[in-house]
């Protein structure tokens, strides 16, 4: 095993770990990255939408060789009940730009490519190596890691914890609490393979254009959660996730939800005749701003999902992971350049820089959303989708009923289900949490 001391050790080779390691290596620091998987990406699960802006800051010319699937020209939001969906679709020719803003990717391929850039930059990358423990000195300062390899004790000035949402190192060392069941979603996902032309015809696409569908409603059976359908070149990623605490409470199973989602009349035709080649399950941190743990300490920082940096409202996680990884590395580089130690006082720079970025500003903006959604999940994920669907059907069905009568009927249905007070209360609470 490696005897020498490193400037930094990064635990994990996901989006956050790769961003941190790449930035540290690009700045000339001696950095070791440890990943328990066979290769970077082998353990990682994502929908997956890649946000170009954040990657461009790390690898400006990534479009030349990164394994990208489709660039997104359309986003659909579906509010579903058991037989229908009400959709808000945004499609723009402007997304067919020279440097597209968002792509679909397949994480296992993408992470492998990302890792090749990390190695090219000069970092030492060791896969199939699990970090089992953080080494702390008598004062509690983190001074290195222990791994599952023989003699696997390695020292560094600072350890970057990029171990993902269910990483245990930080919690074992009592640097951060274990995420609560109401702060994490369990998502399951399948990859449905279809001929390229079939995907393009079904999703109204040409060339490498792509579309993503985000779906909420009765598919989650009153639990806080969402489904997604993303078009790749030759497969469709489809999945659904709900809060772990809701699964515990209801006894529903993720697999049961996925089966229902797939057989929904709006979804089934999109994947008809497909061959399922992959099935994966993974946690997503969804506790929001209030669930963010302490982000730095004596000799350590935590980034990405391990730091609960995930914007569930906008379905963004990988970009927050990449940005927090890059910012942590930049802070470490600045401290190193000043020849100062990696104390908590100095590493507070990471938090200060993160606070100034979109990451913390977005997390803060939606700070009340997770609790609101959780407490009112029956209304937001069951009652309203059913009411909206009925109102829409009433609106479009032509049956000789005067329009005034139709409007009264729809309004009556809302008031009977929620009461005036309930309706105004819900609108007020959403507006307040959204602002
Ligand atoms: C179903 C699903 C769909 C998603 N869709 C999207 C999407 O479309 N767009 C988006 O932006 N985000 C999406 N996300 C969120 C996104 O995947 C995460 O935010 C992102 O992967 C976080 O990156 P990370 O590097 O923090 O963690 P991870 O990608 O989880 O990486 C952590 C790494 O650490 C390694 N590791 C853990 N413990 C140890 C250890 N002790 N020793 C060594 N290695 C260790 C793991 O093997 C892993 O490689 C989705 C998530 C899920 C589950």
Distance from the alpha carbon of residue 318 to the mean position of ligand 1, in angstroms: 7
For the Cβ of 242 lying below 6 angstroms from any atom of ligand 1, the answer is no
Minimum mean pLDDT among 70-74, 146-150, 270-274: which range? 146-150
Ligand 1 atom with minimal separation from the 132 CA: 41
The confidence band for 135, taking pLDDT boundaries of 50, 70 and 90, is: very high
For the Cβ of 145 lying below 6 angstroms from any atom of ligand 1, the answer is no
The confidence band for 42, taking pLDDT boundaries of 50, 70 and 90, is: confident
What pLDDT, on the 0 to 100 scale, is given for residue 150? 82
6-67+106-177+293-365 CATH choice from 1.10.10.10, 3.40.50.1360, 3.10.20.30, 3.50.50.60: 3.50.50.60
The confidence band for 152, taking pLDDT boundaries of 50, 70 and 90, is: confident
For the Cβ of 31 lying below 6 angstroms from any atom of ligand 1, the answer is no
Q: Which two tokens stand for residue 387?
A: 């009411």
Is residue 286 within 8 Å of 184, Cβ to Cβ? yes
For the Cβ of 17 lying below 6 angstroms from any atom of ligand 1, the answer is yes
Is residue 210 within 8 Å of 69, Cβ to Cβ? yes
The confidence band for 136, taking pLDDT boundaries of 50, 70 and 90, is: very high
Averaged pLDDT, 346-374: 96
The rounded Cα 298 to chain-centroid distance in angstroms is 28
Residue of 11, 13, 14, 183 to test ligand 1 pocket, by largest number of atoms within 8 Å of CB:
14
Distance from the alpha carbon of residue 412 to the mean position of ligand 1, in angstroms: 45
Averaged pLDDT, 273-282: 93
Ligand 1 atom with minimal separation from the 283 CA: 53
What pLDDT, on the 0 to 100 scale, is given for residue 65? 96
Ligand 1 atom with minimal separation from the 169 CA: 41
For the Cβ of 285 lying below 6 angstroms from any atom of ligand 1, the answer is no
The confidence band for 311, taking pLDDT boundaries of 50, 70 and 90, is: very high
What pLDDT, on the 0 to 100 scale, is given for residue 3? 64
User: What's the mean pLDDT when you consider all of the chain?
Assistant: 95
Distance from the alpha carbon of residue 284 to the mean position of ligand 1, in angstroms: 8
Nearest to 318 by CA among 113, 51, 69: 51
Q: Where in the chain are the domains?
A: 6-67+106-177+293-365, 182-285, 370-434
pLDDT digits (tens, 9 = 90+) for 321-355: 999 999 999 999 999 999 999 999 999 999 999 99
Nearest to 267 by CA among 213, 204, 195: 213
Cα dihedral across residues 332, 334, 335, 339: positive or negative: positive
Averaged pLDDT, 71-89: 97
Q: Could you name the CATH architecture of 182-285?
A: 2-Layer Sandwich (3.30)
Residue of 9, 10, 17 to test ligand 1 pocket, by largest number of atoms within 8 Å of CB:
17
The fraction of the chain above a pLDDT of 90, given in percent, is: 92
The confidence band for 2, taking pLDDT boundaries of 50, 70 and 90, is: low
For the Cβ of 167 lying below 6 angstroms from any atom of ligand 1, the answer is yes
The full length of the chain comes to 435
Distance from the alpha carbon of residue 82 to the mean position of ligand 1, in angstroms: 31
> How far is residue 249's CA from residue 246's CA, in Å, rounded to a whole number?
5
What pLDDT, on the 0 to 100 scale, is given for residue 1? 52
For the Cβ of 173 lying below 6 angstroms from any atom of ligand 1, the answer is no
- What is the pTM for the complete model shown? 0.95
What pLDDT, on the 0 to 100 scale, is given for residue 4? 76
Averaged pLDDT, 257-286: 96
pLDDT at 46 over 90: no
């Amino acid at each position: 095993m490696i005897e020498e001391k490193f400037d930094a050790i990064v635990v994990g080779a996901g989006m956050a770990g790769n961003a941190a390691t790449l930035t540290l290596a690009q700045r000339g620091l001696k950095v070791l990255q440890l990943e328990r998987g066979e290769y970077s990406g082998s353990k990682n699960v994502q929908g997956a939408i890649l946000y170009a802006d954040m990657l461009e800051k790390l690898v400006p010319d990534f479009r030349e060789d990164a394994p990208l699937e489709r660039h997104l020209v359309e986003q659909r939001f579906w509010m579903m009940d058991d037989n229908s969906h009400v959709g808000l679709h945004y499609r723009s020719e402007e997304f067919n730009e020279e440097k597209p803003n968002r792509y679909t990717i397949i994480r296992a391929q993408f992470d492998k490519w990302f890792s090749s850039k990390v190695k090219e930059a000069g970092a030492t990358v060791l896969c199939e190596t699990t970090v089992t423990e953080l080494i702390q000195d008598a004062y509690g300062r983190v001074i290195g890691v222990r791994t599952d390899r023989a003699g696997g004790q390695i020292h560094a000035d600072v350890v970057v914890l990029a171990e993902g949402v269910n990483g245990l190192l930080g919690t074992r060392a009592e640097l951060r609490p274990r995420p609560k069941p109401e702060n994490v979603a369990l998502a399951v996902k399948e990859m449905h393979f279809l001929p390229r032309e079939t995907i393009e015809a079904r999703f109204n696409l040409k060339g490498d254009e792509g579309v993503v569908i985000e779906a909420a409603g009765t598919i989650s059976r009153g639990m806080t959660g969402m489904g997604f359908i993303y078009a790749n070149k030759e497969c469709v990623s489809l999945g659904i996730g709900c809060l772990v605490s809701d699964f515990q409470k209801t006894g529903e199973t993720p697999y049961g939800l996925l089966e229902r989602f797939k057989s929904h009349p709006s979804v089934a035709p999109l994947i008809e005749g497909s061959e399922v080649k992959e099935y994966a399950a993974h946690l997503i941190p969804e506790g929001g701003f209030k669930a963010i743990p302490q982000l730095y300490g004596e000799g350590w920082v935590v980034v990405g999902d391990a730091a609960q940096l995930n914007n569930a409202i906008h379905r963004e996680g990988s970009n927050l992971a990449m940005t927090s990884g890059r910012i942590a590395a930049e802070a470490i580089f600045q401290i190193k350049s000043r020849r100062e130690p990696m104390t908590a006082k100095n590493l507070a720079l990471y938090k200060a820089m993160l606070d100034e970025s979109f990451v913390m500003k977005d997390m803060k903006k939606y700070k009340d959303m997770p609790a609101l959604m959780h407490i009112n999940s029956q209304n937001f994920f069951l009652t309203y989708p059913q009411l909206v669907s009925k109102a829409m059907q009433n609106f479009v069905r032509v049956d000789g009923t005067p329009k005034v009568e139709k409007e009264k009927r729809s309004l009556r249905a809302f008031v009977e289900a929620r009461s005036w007070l309930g309706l105004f209360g819900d609108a007020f609470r959403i507006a307040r949490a959204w602002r």
